[in-house]
Amino acid sequence: MRTGFFLLAAFVAVVSGSPAFRNLLVHEQRRDIPDGFVKSTPAPATKMLNLRIALTQGDMAGLEKALFDVSTPGSALYGQHLTKEEVEAFVAPSSESVSLVQQWLAANSITAQTISPAGDWLQFSIPVSQANTLLDADFTVFTHPETGTTLTRTLSYSIPAELIGHVDLVHPTITFDNPHANLPVVVSPKVVRPSSEEVPDLESRAVPSSCNTAVTPACLQAMYGIPTTLATQSSNTLGVSGFIEQFANQADLTTFLKSFRTDLSSATKFSLQTLDGGSNSQTASQAGIEANLDIQYTVGVASGVPTTFISVGENFKDGNLEGFLDIINALLAESNPPQVLTTSYGQNENTISAALANQLCNAYMQLGARGTSILFASGDGGVSGSQSGRCTTFLPTFPSGCPFMTSVGATTGITETAATFSSGGFSNVFARPSYQSSSVSTYLTALGSTNSGKFNTSGRAFPDVSAQGQNVQIVLEGSKESVAGTSCSSPIFASVIALLNDRLAAAGKSPLGFLNPFLYSAAGAAALNDITTGDNPGCNTNGFPAKTGWDPVTGLGTPNFAKLLTAVGL
Ligand SMILES: *[C@@H]1O[C@H](CO)[C@@H](O)[C@H](O)[C@H]1NC(C)=O
C-alpha cells in the first residue's frame, strides 16, 4: 500500500510541477581572458565535451563546524574524525536538487554519471552544439601560444531559472587551467657530491656546511631533528599526488637511497595507485623531475612510512583541475584514505571561477574531516603567483587560498631565510579563517603601508608553514640533480607530519588530520622555527618581507621535530 501511495505522489508531483526549463539565466561569466591565452576559433560543433555539474551540497556549514571540532586541540571532539558515511551525510545534495537536475538532463536526452561518493558531482558528454544551446554558451577554442596549450571554454553560461539554488556550477566552462604546472623552478647543473668524509654525522646532529649548497635527507634530519629510525605503524600511510604524466621512477629512488640514505634499505619501494587512466612508466627517460622529487623526499625522509604514489591520468586532456577533484573523490571513496597527502601542483587563483575554487576547497574540507592532512606547495613565483610574469596586483595561488588545507612555502640556507621564489599572499576568493586571524593581524600591523593596494587584506593568508626548497639533491635518470621550488618543501613537511602520525598511532592516538588549527595554536607555533629574514619579490616589488611570527613568505616557520612531538602530546 505504502509503495502505491508514494508512487502516486511522485507521479502527481512530476505532472503538476514539471518545470519547463525554458528561462535561462546567466550563472557564471568572466570579463577577461586570462593572461597568456588568446581567442582562436569557435569550437567545432561536433567536438564532444566532458561536462561536470556540481549540485548544491547539503550542509557544508555543518561539515565545517564538524571539521573544526575534530581538528582544534582542546575541543571535546579533537581527533574524533568522521567516517565516510558521516561526511557524505553532510555533503549529499537534497533529493529535490537531484530530481530537478535529472529532469532537466532527461528532457535534453542526456544521461549523467555520478562521480563523487556523496552524489554531488555528475558528469556527461555532449557535443559543443548541444552544450551551446543547453547552457546558452559560446564554446570557443583558446590557445596559449607560449606553451601550445589549447582549451575549449566559454566566457559565460546560463542555467534554467528552476535550477538556481540546485546547481552550483558546470565545469569546464569559464575556468582556464594554467599550463604552467607548479614544477620545480630551477634545475642547476649537476653538482659535485661531498666526498664520503663529509657525509653528515647523524648522531651528533651537527648541520654540515655542505647543506648550504646541497640539501639532502641528512641535512633535513640535522636541521629539523627528523628521526632516522623506521616508522613502526603500517596503518599510517602517506600519499603523493602525481599529475600531467609525471612518473616516479623506482630505479632512481633506489639510486637516491644508496646515495643519501645508506641506513635505509635501498630496496624500499613505494606503492602505486592510478585513476583517470593514470600510469607510472618505469622507462628511465620518462622519469619526471617533479614525481621523482616528491617520492624521494617522502620515502627518503619519512623513513619506513608506507608511501603511495597516486598517478592521476589525463583522460580529460585539457588541464589538471578535473584530476584535482578526481583524486580527492577517489580518496573520499576509500574507507581508509592516507593520513597525509602532499601535492606539488597548483595555479593562479584568478584563472579559476570562484564557484569551482569553492567546490575544490570543499573537497579538501571533506577529506580533512576524515582525518587526512592535505599539504600543497605554495607556488614558485613569489607574489606573482605560479611562475607568472606580468602583474600589477599580487597573484595568489590556488589551492593555497583554501582555508581547509596547509600551504607550504620555501626557505634556504642552514641559517634559514625565505627563498625568494616562495609564493605567499592573500586570497581574493576565500575570507580569512579565524584560526589565523590574530597571527595575520599582527603581521599586517607590522607591515604598515608596504604593498598597500596590491593585495586583499581580508583574504585567507598563506603559506601556513615552510621547509627547505633550494639546492635540493635528487636523482633523475640515474644522475644527481639539484632542484628548487616549493615543490621540495611540501613533501618534506608532509614527511614530518607522517612521522608524527606514526608516533601518535603507536601511542594509540588519532592522526593529526587537518593541521592548521593546531599549527596556529600557541603550542603549534612554538614548535616551528620562525623564519624572520628574506622576502618574495614579484610584480615589480620586493614582495612581502618575512618577519617575526607568521609572514606571507615562510608562514609560521619550519619544523622542529622534538618540539612538535611535545606539542602533539607525546
Ligand atoms: C577580497 O577578499 C574577499 C574574501 O575575503 C572577497 O570577498 C573580495 O571580493 C576580495 N576583493 C577583491 C577585490 O578581490
Task: Tell me the pLDDT tens digit for each residue of 402-449.
Answer: 999 999 999 999 999 999 999 999 999 999 999 999 999 999 999 999
In this predicted structure, what is the pLDDT of residue 319? 64
Range of the domain at 286: 185-193+217-567
Give me the sign of the Cα torsion angle 170, 171, 176, 181: positive
Give the distance (Å) from ligand 1 centre to CA of residue 500: 36
Domain contains 339: yes
Closest by alpha carbon to 241, among 298, 203, 189? 298
Q: Which residues contact 2 (CB under 8 A, 6 or more apart)?
A: none
Contact 458 CB / ligand 1 (< 6 Å) = yes
CB of 202 within 8 A of CB of 263? yes
Joined together, the cell numbers standing for residue 552 give: 606571507
Give the distance (Å) from ligand 1 centre to CA of residue 380: 23
Domain contains 169: no
Reply yes or no: is the peptide bond before residue 463 cis, omega within 30 of 0.
Answer: yes
Structure letter (DSSP) for residue 401: T
Give the distance (Å) from ligand 1 centre to CA of residue 458: 7
| Domains of the chain: total | 1
Question: Which residue has a Cα nearest atom 4 of ligand 1?
Answer: 431
Closest by alpha carbon to 409, among 528, 295, 300, 270? 528
In this predicted structure, what is the pLDDT of residue 6? 42
Burial of 123 (0-12, 13-18, 19+ CB in 10 A): middle
Residues annotated as part of the active site: 290, 294, 487
In this predicted structure, what is the pLDDT of residue 186? 63
Residues composing the chain: 570
Between CA 231 and CA 105 the distance in angstroms is: 51
In 73-82, which positions are buried (b, 16+ CB within 10 angstroms) versus exposed (e)?
Answer: beeeebeebb
Could you give the 3-state DSSP secondary structure of residue 528? strand
Q: Which residues contact 175 (CB under 8 A, 6 or more apart)?
A: 153, 321, 351, 352, 353, 356
Give the distance (Å) from ligand 1 centre to CA of residue 456: 6
Question: Which residue has a Cα nearest atom 8 of ligand 1?
Answer: 428
Contact 425 CB / ligand 1 (< 6 Å) = no
Give the distance (Å) from ligand 1 centre to CA of residue 94: 29
Domain contains 177: no
Average pLDDT of the chain to the nearest whole number: 92
Give the distance (Å) from ligand 1 centre to CA of residue 392: 16
Contact 288 CB / ligand 1 (< 6 Å) = no
Question: Which residue has a Cα nearest atom 1 of ligand 1?
Answer: 428
Give the distance (Å) from ligand 1 centre to CA of residue 349: 12
Ligand 1 pocket: which of 352, 456, 457, 460 to mutate (most atoms within 8 A of CB): 456
Could you give the 3-state DSSP secondary structure of residue 149? strand
Between CA 108 and CA 102 the distance in angstroms is: 10
Closest ligand 1 atom to residue 459 Cα is 5
Burial of 365 (0-12, 13-18, 19+ CB in 10 A): buried
Domain contains 522: yes
In this predicted structure, what is the pLDDT of residue 11? 42
Q: Which residue has the cell 576559433?
A: 41
Consecutive H or E run containing 38? strand 38-42
CB of 296 within 8 A of CB of 287? no
Question: Which residue has a Cα nearest atom 11 of ligand 1?
Answer: 428
Between CA 539 and CA 451 the distance in angstroms is: 11
Domain contains 519: yes
Domain contains 154: no
> Which amino acids are annotated as binding site for Ca(2+), given as ranges?
530-531, 549, 551
Contact 459 CB / ligand 1 (< 6 Å) = yes
Between CA 219 and CA 482 the distance in angstroms is: 14
Between CA 387 and CA 356 the distance in angstroms is: 22
Question: Which residue has a Cα nearest atom 7 of ligand 1?
Answer: 429
Between CA 526 and CA 567 the distance in angstroms is: 8
In this predicted structure, what is the pLDDT of residue 274? 97
> Which amino acids are annotated as binding site, given as ranges?
530-531, 549, 551
Contact 437 CB / ligand 1 (< 6 Å) = no
Q: Tens-digit pLDDT profile for the chain (570 aa)?
A: 333 344 444 444 444 457 889 999 999 999 989 888 999 999 999 999 999 999 999 999 999 999 999 999 999 999 999 999 999 999 999 999 999 999 999 999 999 999 999 999 999 999 999 999 999 999 999 998 888 889 999 999 999 999 999 999 999 999 988 766 666 666 554 444 444 434 444 444 689 999 999 999 999 999 999 999 999 999 999 999 999 889 999 999 999 999 999 999 999 999 999 999 999 999 999 999 999 999 999 999 999 999 999 999 988 766 678 899 999 999 999 999 999 999 999 988 988 999 999 999 999 999 999 999 999 999 999 999 875 567 889 999 999 999 999 999 999 999 999 999 999 999 999 999 999 999 999 999 999 999 999 999 999 999 999 999 999 999 999 999 999 999 999 999 999 999 999 999 999 999 999 999 999 999 999 999 999 999 999 999 999 999 999 999 999 999 999 999 999 999
Closest ligand 1 atom to residue 458 Cα is 5
In this predicted structure, what is the pLDDT of residue 177? 81
Closest ligand 1 atom to residue 456 Cα is 1
Burial of 275 (0-12, 13-18, 19+ CB in 10 A): middle
Ligand 1 pocket: which of 428, 452, 455 to mutate (most atoms within 8 A of CB): 428
Contact 431 CB / ligand 1 (< 6 Å) = yes
Domain contains 282: yes
In this predicted structure, what is the pLDDT of residue 387? 58
CATH number at residue 482: 3.40.50.200
Domain contains 530: yes
pTM over cut 0.85: yes
C-alpha count within 13 angstroms, C-beta hemisphere, residue 524 = 23
